[in-house]
Amino acid sequence: MNKTIRLEDLGLLDYKKAWEYQEKLFKNILDTKIKNRRENVGLETQNHFLFVEHPHVFTLGKSGDLDNLLVSKEQLAQKNASFYKINRGGDITYHGPGQIVGYPILDLENFFTDIHKYLRLLEEMVILTLAEYDVKAERSKGETGVWLDVGTPFARKICAMGVRASRWVTMHGFALNVNADLGYFDLMIPCGIKDKNVTSLNVELGQAKVSMQEVKDKLLKHFLGLFEAEVYS
């Protein structure tokens, strides 16, 4: 089993370009697995972890409801935002500058074959990272992602998640609000969940800006620990 992971930080990149790159890496892993099965060989499958920020964009998962986007395409254009229907699970979400997006593209057969466990470990990675800032984050039953003040009138989401998996290969991932412009979340019903707010780490800390690189370093540290993996770039 190959537990090494290739790390890439793509910087600020258009959503469609990042999606196409994900699909390329995803297909390469699937092609290797198919070759292994058909030809009875044991080629090693690769694992990847992409960090990226996107220009303003709204994405709708395959089970999502377009009614959860509260503005027209013309209004989106006025906000310099784009829109895509995509092939991950989940409903509608927003990506933009100040948000750390992570795309683990893993062959889970190198780690464990359990999608539920995979999602819970991604949540745990974020929870452990936020704990380093003395922010108490937690899960909300039946609602994938990471939340604050669950079970109170002040419940708010700080990290959204949505993944796709085929033959135990994953793509898409998580979006953690670090210095996000929360006004864009008013243009939708986040993840289709009404009456719950969204927050960002800088808001919770009362800071103008939090170091994105510092947060990435903490996320990666906890990811590697939870998945018992090593990284190369």
The catalytic residues are: 191
* Cβ neighbours for 59, distance < 8 A, ≥ 6 positions apart: 15, 83, 84, 85, 86, 88, 92, 93, 94, 95
CA distance 228 to 173: 18
Whether residue 89 is annotated as binding a ligand: the answer is: yes
State yes or no: 173 annotated in a binding site: yes
Which two structure tokens, joined as six digits, stand for 157?
């989401």
| Site of tokens 């683990």 | 104
Does 118 carry a binding-site annotation?
no
Q: Where are the beta strands (DSSP E) in 169-220?
A: 169-177, 197-198
Q: Is 94 annotated as a binding residue?
A: yes
**95 belongs to an annotated ligand binding site:** yes
To the question of whether residue 151 is assigned a binding role by annotation, the answer is: no
Query: Was 175 annotated as part of a binding site?
Result: yes
The 8-class DSSP code of residue 142 comes to: T
Binding residue per annotation — 92? yes
Quote the DSSP letter at residue 108: G
Six token digits for residue 124? 């745990």
Residue (of 56, 103, 53, 104) closest to 76 by Cα position: 56
Q: Is 162 annotated as a binding residue?
A: yes
CA gap 106, 30 in Å, rounded: 10
Judge whether 54 is annotated as a binding position.
no
In the annotated binding site, the residues are 88-95, 160-162, 173-175
In the annotated binding site for substrate, the residues are 88-95, 160-162, 173-175
